[in-house]
């Protein structure tokens, strides 16, 4: 390979590397910006908007955990629908009986366990007990 060919090859490699690095940096900035928008307080200091962002983040985490539970326990779509419907009824009943008082984590967990016990078969509920130990917050 002659000298101009080597220079051309090295230039192509350098340009390709620069493009890849630029793409990776852009992706990283996008991810960081998305995290900032979800997790950091807003610059105007509005506490209610900050609380909303935190609640949305917590809800996303709960939904991710629920979806993982469905998969790990092998729940059928009928079981998933029944669990969601039954648990929502429990939450609605709580909100009706206890206005302006959010359900604490212990009560929520107990109600989830009762609802799942009614929905799952014995083997799935045994799997749930093991699963819940490894997936507690």
Side-chain half-sphere of 40: how many Cα atoms within 13 Å? 9
Can you give the residue ranges of every domain in the chain?
1-42, 56-137
- From 105, 83, 80, 79, select the one nearest 94 (Cα to Cα): 105
Residue 136, SS3 per DSSP: coil
For the chain, helix (H) and strand (E) counts, in that order, are 5, 0
Tens of pLDDT, residue by residue over 59-94, are: 557 788 889 999 999 999 999 999 999 999 999 999
Q: Is the model's pTM score more than 0.75?
A: no
Residues in the chain: 137
Integer Cα distance of 108 and 114 in angstroms:
10
């Amino acid at each position: 390979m002659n000298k101009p060919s080597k220079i051309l090859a090295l230039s192509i490699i350098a340009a390709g590397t620069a493009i890849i690095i630029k793409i990776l940096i852009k992706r990283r900035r996008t991810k960081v910006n998305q995290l900032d928008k979800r997790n950091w307080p807003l610059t105007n200091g509005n506490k209610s908007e900050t609380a909303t962002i935190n609640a949305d983040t917590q809800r996303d985490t709960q939904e991710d955990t629920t979806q993982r539970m469905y998969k790990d326990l092998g729940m059928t779509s009928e079981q998933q629908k029944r669990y969601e419907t039954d648990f929502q009824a429990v939450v609605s009943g709580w909100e009706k009986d206890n206005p302006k008082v959010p359900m604490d984590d212990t009560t929520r967990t107990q109600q989830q366990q009762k609802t799942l016990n009614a929905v799952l078969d014995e083997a799935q509920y045994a799997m749930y007990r093991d699963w819940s130990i490894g997936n507690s917050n």
